[in-house]
Structure 1
Amino acid sequence: MLTAFQDREARLQERELALRDRMQALRVADQEIERKMAALTTAEEELRQTLALADTAAEDDLTRLTKVYENMKPKQAAALFEEMDPHFAAGFLARMRPEIAAAVMAGLSPGAAHTFSVVLAGRNANVPSE
């Protein structure tokens, strides 16, 4: 019986050592997961800042180009707009001051003016109203 108890005690000690090893491995794995999560959080914030910078740069470029078109003679701008994709040109017309956009539209061919008007009118057609 003493031998059975000693065997059982030895098995329990082996299991306890195995559990300790397993717990240590879990702690190491948990630390690694925390380290990787921190790195991912940092990378996500850096990406968010980069995207914000890119959005700002793109908006600045559009604003600058819109001002270039606004400062052109309406007939010259109209000639350029005639060559552009209607959605692209309509985007600039929408950003322009209304009196300048009107002068450019007056310089367009009737077909182009109609196309740009349709694009402008339909830009927000699918926006939910409620």
Structure 2
Amino acid sequence: MKPKTRRRQPGRGALVVIASLLLLSAGFRVSDGAGQALALAKEGVEVSPLAEKGPQACETPEDIRRVLKAIQNREKTLKQRETTLADRMQALSVAKRETDKKLRELLEAEQSLRETMAMAESASETDLGRLTKVYESMKPKQAAALFEEMDPNFAAGFLGRMRPEAAAAIMAGLTPQAAHSFSVVLAGRHANVPKE
């Protein structure tokens, strides 16, 4: 049997050579720059005044200066608009809270009004029911005398709520004119109701 040989990966040796050359180059540059700096320090070389002041501001060309000024003005305008927009958003937020509060109060008042109206209708219905029973329990002749004095619409409302026997007894005691007008009102109350 043949001994196994290890296969090398292609290109691996080239990477090692390149890395070695880069490290060697960096070493030369550092040693060269450090040598020059040490030599200048030993010789007492005078540093130029420009180097002492540090970086100097260079003059900006006019066209670039105009563009920078326009950008600064635009930024200032945008900041003002942003502030105005933030103020408006705050005002809208306050207005929305107030509107929501007023709407809740209005809904509560509407509910309270509905309850009050329901109680009033219930009380009114109760009162009308009692008064109708009073008229039904009266003697027909006495009730007829009262009905003669009533408005036909008002009297017809009571007659329509009464038991038919009681209403007939009262109608029999009325004058023919009063009985006719009450009958017309009673018959016409539902004449405008849709039939289909």
TM-score (norm 2): 0.64
Offset at residue 87 of structure 1 (A)? 1.1
The one of 132, 138, 150 equivalent to 1:66 is: 132
Deviations along 1:82-120, one digit per CA (max 9) or x if unpaired, are: 111111111101100011111111111122112211111
**For each residue in 1:58-85, what CA deviation from the matched residue of structure 2 results, as whole angstroms up to 9, or x when unmatched?**
1111111001101100100001001111
Q: CA–CA distance in 2 between the matches of 1:114 and 1:5?
A: 94
User: Which residue is 2:91 aligned to?
Assistant: 25
Among 77, 80, 83, which residue is 1:14 paired with?
A: 80
User: 1:1-130, aligned counterparts within 5 Å?
Assistant: 1-130=67-196
User: In the TM superposition, what is the alpha-carbon distance from 1:8 to its structure 2 partner?
Assistant: 1.5
Q: Percent identity?
A: 68
Instruction: Give CA-to-partner distance per residue, 1:25-48, whole Å, 9 cap, x none.
Output: 111111111111111111111111
The TM-score with structure 1 as length reference comes to 0.95
User: Where does the alignment leave 5 or more consecutive residues of structure 2 unmatched?
Assistant: 1-66
Q: Which has the larger radius of gyration?
A: 2
- RMSD across aligned positions (CA): 1.0
Larger relative contact order (CA 8 Å, sep ≥ 6): 1
- How far does residue 13 in structure 1 lie from its aligned partner after superposition? 0.9
More helix by share: 1
